[in-house]
């Protein structure tokens, strides 16, 4: 695998992640309104959460399928411990789908309620929304770091890539790679 193939994969992943991060921020904001509903119509928040859940059920599901067919084979072949990493990322995809479904189920319950939503339903929406946001945030960063490591290994070799990773994590060593700056 050459650097151009990794750069193409990185570009695709980061481009998709930018869009997802915007949706994640909207999810976080909507969940934040549930924490402090003063002056906010809970029905509007539920509508916003429903729209975001629909996005994650369609566009994000397609994004994960694309990753599993294009990115994961690259990581599986190149990354030290690649099969374990890919298995972990696939498990996270399954967990994201499960958490998204839990939020969707809670939204269905909210849709069936009278105009004033009970506090327990709002609490559940807050919990499911927050859990989904945290999982998406962690997953996006983990995938990006994995692609960066693969690219560094491809360009620099294993030892230099390890040194660059340590430097990026803030654990500098005396080697020349640590003085080269973050990878």
Mind listing the domains of the chain with CATH numbers? 3-179 (1.20.120)
Contacts of 34 (CB under 8 A, 6+ apart): 42, 45, 122, 125, 126, 129
Q: What is the mean pLDDT of the chain?
A: 79
Residue 112, both tokens: 């069936």
Cα end-to-end distance, the chain, whole Å: 19
- The one-character DSSP state at 135 is H
- Measured distance CA(132)–CA(129) in Å, rounded: 5
Structure token digits, residue 105: 């189920």
83's tokens: 């099969």
Is residue 133 within 8 Å of 28, Cβ to Cβ?
Answer: yes
- As given in the structure block, the two tokens for residue 183 are 């990878």
The per-residue pLDDT for 92 is: 94
The pLDDT tens digits for 25-49 are 888 888 888 777 777 777 888 899 9
Q: pLDDT per residue over 62-112, tens digit each?
A: 888 888 888 888 888 875 688 998 999 999 999 999 999 999 999 999 988
**Other residues' Cβ atoms within 10 Å of the Cβ of residue 75:** 22
On the question of pLDDT at 20 being above 70, the answer is yes
């Amino acid at each position: 695998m050459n650097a151009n193939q990794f750069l193409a994969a990185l570009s695709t992943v980061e481009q998709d992640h930018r869009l997802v991060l915007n949706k994640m921020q909207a999810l976080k904001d909507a969940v934040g309104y549930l924490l402090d509903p003063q002056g906010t119509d809970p029905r509007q928040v539920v509508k916003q959460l429903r729209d975001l859940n629909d996005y994650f059920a369609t566009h994000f599901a397609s994004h994960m399928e694309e990753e599993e067919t294009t990115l994961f084979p690259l990581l599986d072949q190149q990354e030290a411990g690649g099969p374990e990493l890919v298995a972990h990322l696939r498990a996270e995809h399954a967990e994201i789908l499960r958490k998204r479904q839990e939020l969707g189920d809670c939204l269905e319950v909210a849709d069936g309620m009278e105009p004033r939503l009970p506090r327990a339903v709002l609490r559940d929406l807050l919990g499911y929304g927050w859990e989904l946001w945290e999982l998406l945030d962690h997953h996006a960063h983990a995938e990006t770091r994995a692609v960066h490591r693969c690219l560094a290994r491809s360009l620099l070799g294993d030892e230099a890539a390890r040194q660059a990773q340590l430097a990026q994590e803030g654990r500098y060593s005396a080697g020349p790679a640590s003085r080269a700056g973050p990878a």
